[in-house]
Chains A and B, each alone.
Chain A
């Protein structure tokens, strides 16, 4: 069973600081996604990465897919209270495989 492990599990930092969260596995994936989920809502897709080594930027968020397509990181610059939420990585093992496997999540709290 493929497993996506996210670290840290919990992170609480001051507004304006930078942070990085990680998503790691021993399996190779065809694609990997990052979601943010807020209380009482479903996960919202932030980005999809497909190519090993790929880097995507979304305003203050930078996403990287590992060269071997087994891991990924999310870096947030100058964190803001609106960044607070549960960050989930999710991956598909094969192209065309509909099963999306989610990581354990990182709960991020930005303190004003």
Chain B
């Protein structure tokens, strides 16, 4: 049983560009959350998706958007990239009230 998977593993973009990161949840999980982890910091909650809708959102600008598909996979989109968006982006999945499991993350570098 595969755990949470994320793609790509690493990504380099330039300021102003747009990026899409992908997440496949653990089998049986229907809820996906996204986190941003800057170097040397703890993860920060971006938003959570359940039943293809954004259920809760952290303190991130509208440049950060997401989507969840009927198969529960999810995408994180970031527009107009800034240097400060460079971070490890983590996806976590869970089934309803159970604990969540994290993927290995996508390392985004903005030049």
Which A positions have Cβ atoms within 8 angstroms of B?
1, 4, 6, 33, 40-45, 48, 88, 90, 97-105
Please tell me which one of the listed residues A40, A48, A102 contacts residue B44 in the complex, with CB atoms under 8 A apart.
A102
Chain B, interface residues (CB within 8 Å), range: 20 to 34
* Interfacial residues of chain B within 60-111, with CB under 8 A of chain A in the complex: 90, 92, 99-105
Which partner residue on chain B sits nearest A86 by CB separation? B42
Complex contact A45–B99 (CB within 8 A): yes
* 3 cross-chain pairs, A with B, having the tightest CB-CB distances, nearest first: A42-B102, A102-B42, A98-B56
Give CA–CA (A16, B55) in the complex, Å.
45
Report yes or no: B43 in contact with A99, Cβ–Cβ below 8 A: no
Task: State the B residues within 8 Å of A (CB).
Answer: 4, 31, 33, 35, 40-45, 48, 55-56, 58-59, 90, 92, 99-105
Q: Are A98 and B55 in contact (CB under 8 A)?
A: yes
Q: Is the CB of A102 within 8 A of B43?
A: yes
